[in-house]
Amino acid sequence: MNRQELASLEGLMDGFASISLSEMDGIRLMNRIDTKYLTSEPRLAALLSEALDCGYMVFEEGGKRIQDYDSVYFDTPALTTYTEHRRGKLVRQKIRTRRYSSSGVCFLEIKNKNNHSRTKKKRIQLTEEAYPYYACDEVATSWLGERCLYDAGSLGASLGTAFKRITLVNPERSERLTIDMDVRFRNFRTGMEAGLGNAVIIELKQDGRAGSRMREILLRHRILPCRISKYCAGITMTTPGIRAGRFKEKVRLIEKINRQC
């Protein structure tokens, strides 16, 4: 995303009412359903315009409505978390550290997937000095060891991700939408770098008991559900010869989106 494209998107976001982090934290989706979508940057303007008309609010922090995120994913030497996802194992984890650039706040996070396809995230805050590798933080290391499904001592930095995110909340506060753009990867083991180019990952987090205007907007724009993991896509794109299985289809779809832009 170049400066002109970013400035155009920032101008569009100025029309939205804002919602703060404390207000966002107060939203509890008790029967949460997460659905991911894949689209392209050129299609965002029309999507955001409809969201604005429907009264959606945008998360704002530090005067910014497009936030920069940095994450580092950790895996075993055999890439167990990647392999379990590729094989379709229902109960699995992903472990990462994340830094929110607008605030400088850092976390060590565990994403747990259960056998009902629901994801629950647990996290503990890190100091900036402990980001991204967390090992110097004894409290965080102990916390991870108590909750990790794998041998926590064997985990090493696997993939770095960086992206820009817009977060929208509906007026009823029964759903959140994250839009991840300019997604870039750096593989700590192979040294390779890659990115999604103009491809955009959207994730709708909604209360399953409530209707979703955003789902209707996405369908009107022919943006269809697509199961995709940034971590798995990044590993697939930066690890020559790796067994990718169904992740190959996602990489081909990303390549198709970029050819059409």
Q: Is the pLDDT of residue 25 over 80?
A: no
Residue 42 tokens read as 């050129």
Give the C-alpha separation, 91 to 239, whole Å: 24
Residue 26 confidence class, pLDDT cut points 50, 70, 90 = low
In this prediction, residue 50 carries a pLDDT of: 95
Measured between alpha carbons, how far is residue 119 from residues 34, 110, 111, 177 in Å? 8, 10, 7, 16
Find, among 41, 36, 48, the residue nearest to 217 by Cα.
48
Note if the bond before 132 is cis, omega within 30 degrees: yes
Residue 150 confidence class, pLDDT cut points 50, 70, 90 = very high
In this prediction, residue 28 carries a pLDDT of: 64
Give the C-alpha separation, 26 to 23, whole Å: 5
Measured between alpha carbons, how far is residue 170 from residues 66, 67, 205, 211 in Å? 17, 19, 11, 11
185-232 confidence digits (pLDDT tens): 999 999 999 999 999 999 998 876 667 899 999 999 999 999 999 999
157-167 confidence digits (pLDDT tens): 999 999 999 99
For residues 239-254, give the mean pLDDT.
94
Instruction: Look up the pTM and report it.
Output: 0.92
For residues 114-132, give the mean pLDDT.
86
Place of tokens 């083991």: 189
In this prediction, residue 191 carries a pLDDT of: 98
- pLDDT: which is higher, 3 or 51: 51
In this prediction, residue 23 carries a pLDDT of: 85
Q: Is the pLDDT of residue 31 over 80?
A: no
In this prediction, residue 217 carries a pLDDT of: 95
Average pLDDT of the chain to the nearest whole number: 91
In this prediction, residue 209 carries a pLDDT of: 65
Place of tokens 């060891």: 145
